[in-house]
Amino acid sequence: MVKIKLSSLELLRNSGYEIIEEGEQVIIRYNPPSISEAMSSDEDHEETNRVIEIVTRKENDELIILDAYIIEGNNKKRKLDKSELELWAEYVGES
């Protein structure tokens, strides 16, 4: 189970993340770097509007990650695995 501190939400809001709160459920969305940016390359790559969507549930002072996807256009392309989520949670915890 991957989780982050509930207090991280304000930091995420201030860092350009979209936060949608619906009762105990919180959806976090953000645009990851493009392939060119991630590779630090000037090569032309076909750019697609990509969004990471992370679905969480509030529990005490934490957000428990339930699901996370890479969305391209209007299609969920791939579910993020636990190791990817752990890396993101670690990054968010250090922000």
pLDDT tens for residues 78-90? 999 999 999 999 9
Name the residue among 13, 26, 91, 29 with its Cα closest to residue 58: 26
DSSP letter at 60 equals T
- Comparing 75 with 94, the larger pLDDT belongs to 75
Cα separation, 76 vs 88, whole angstroms: 19
The answer to whether the pTM exceeds 0.85 is no
